Amino acid sequence: MARLADVARKAGVSVATASRALVRPEMVAERTRQRVRDAAIELGFRYHPSAQALATGRSRLLALLVPDLTNPFYAPIIAGAQRAAEESGNDLLVVVTEESPERERQLIDRLRDRVDGFLAIAPRGAGSLFTSLDVPLVLVDRRVRGVPSVVVDTPGGLAELGAHLAELGHRRIAYLGGPRGSWADPRRLEGLQRGLDHEVVAFGPLPPTFEAGSDIVDELLASECTAAVAYNSALFLGLLYRLAQLGVRVPESLSVCCADNLAGLGLAVPEATTLHVPAEEAGSSAVDMVLGFVDGRSPEPRNRSVAVQLVIGKTTAAPR
C-alpha cells in the first residue's frame, strides 16, 4: 500500500509538500503539484483513512439513525443520503434504532467519537432527545425546536390532494391515520383538512401496516365516506387488498389514495393516486446540511422543506 511518503519520495519533495499538493493545491507551485499528482496516480496512492482522521479530527463518516429497515419509505431517504455522502467523500453508517429513544441515545453516545455528524429519522418519541446534543445532527422528516431539520411537505401535498378530491365532488372524506405518537400524523390530517370545506372523517391512530389497512375497511365502508386517504403505503395496500376481497370497486364505489407513493416498494399498484415524495432529495439535503455544520459553515436555512407532488392516478374518481 503506497503511503504519502512514497509519493513524496517519487516526486522528489517532502511529505509536507506532497500532502499540501493534494489537499491545498493553491499553496504549491504548479510544477510541483503536477509532479506529486502524477506520482500519486502512478503509485496508486490512497489515503489511509484512520491516519487522516487522526490528524484532521474528521473521520469522514456520518451516521444515519433509521427506525427500521423494513419500512420501504426510508429506503430512498437512505439512498439519497448515501449518494450525497459518497459524492462528498464520506461514508454512511446506517443504524437501526427500532424507534427506541433509549437506543437512539445509546447509539449517538456510542458513535459520537466515530462519526463527524448524525442524521436522524425519528418519527416518534420525545424530540427533546435531540435538543441539547453537542454534535452536528439534522433531523429528517421531523421538526423539533432548536434542531436543524429537513422535512417533507406531505401536509402541503395533502392539501392539494384534498382539493383534488373536493373538485371531483367528494364531500365525505376519510383519513386513515398513522401510528400513535407520530409527529407527522396530525400534520397530515391538518394538511388534508386544509384543502377541504367539509370536516374530514378521521380514523385512527392506526399502526402503519397492511393488516391495519385491511382491518379498518368495514368501519370505513360503514362510515359512508366516498373517498379515503391512507397515511402510508402499507395501510393503503391493506385497504386495497380487503376492498378487492369484498368486491368493492375502486374507484367507482370508493376513491382511495395514499399520502406517500409506492415507488420502489416492489409492490407498486400501478396508477394509484398518491403523493410523490422526493425522499432521496430529503436524504441528500440532510447530508449536505450536516456536512455544513461539520466544517463550521452554518448552513441556512436550518430548517428545510422538500415539496411533494400530487400524482393523480386511477384510484380516484367522482363519487356516484
**List of residues contacting DNA (CB under 7 A):** 1, 3-5, 12-17, 19-20, 22-24, 27-33, 45, 47-48, 51-52, 54-56
Identity of the residue, 134 or 224, whose beta carbon is nearer to DNA in the bound complex: 134
Which listed option, a second copy, DNA, none, makes contact with residue 211 (CB within 5 to 8 Å by class)? Answer: a second copy
Q: Over the range 188-224, which residues count as b (16 or more CB within 10 Å of their CB) and which as e?
A: bbebbbebbeeebbbbbbbbbebebbbbbbeebbeee
Which listed option, a second copy, DNA, none, makes contact with residue 23 (CB within 5 to 8 Å by class)? Answer: DNA
Position among 2, 15, 22, 79 found at the interface with a second copy (CB under 8 A): 79
Closest separation in Å from C-beta 235 to a second copy: 9
- For 294, list phi and psi in degrees, rounded to 5: -55, -50
Position among 84, 92, 200, 239 found at the interface with a second copy (CB under 8 A): 92
Q: Residue type at 54? A: L
Which range of residues in 15-23, 28-36, 64-72, 171-179 is near a second copy by CB under 8 A?
64-72
Identity of the residue, 136 or 278, whose beta carbon is nearer to DNA in the bound complex: 136
Which range of residues in 75-83, 190-198, 218-226, 276-284 is near a second copy by CB under 8 A?
75-83
Asked if 122 and 97 count as a contact pair (C-beta separation under 8 A), the reply is: yes
Contact between 267 and a second copy (CB under 8 A)? yes
Helices and strands (H, E) in the chain, number of each type? 12, 12
Residues found in the chain:
320
Identity of the residue, 278 or 292, whose beta carbon is nearer to DNA in the bound complex: 292
Site for a second copy in 99-158 (CB under 8 A): 111, 113-114
Residue 37, C-beta contacts closer than 8 angstroms, at least 6 positions apart: 21, 22
Contact between 240 and a second copy (CB under 8 A)? yes
Residue 116, C-beta contacts closer than 8 angstroms, at least 6 positions apart: 58, 59, 60, 61, 62, 90, 136, 290, 291, 294
DSSP 101-156: HHHHHHHHHHHTTT-SEEEEE--SS-GGGGTT-SS-EEEES--BTTB-EEEEEHHH
Contact between 162 and a second copy (CB under 8 A)? no
Residues making contact with a second copy (CB under 8 A):
1, 46-51, 53-54, 59, 68-72, 74-75, 78-79, 82, 91-96, 111, 113-114, 208-211, 234, 237-238, 240-241, 244-245, 247, 264-270
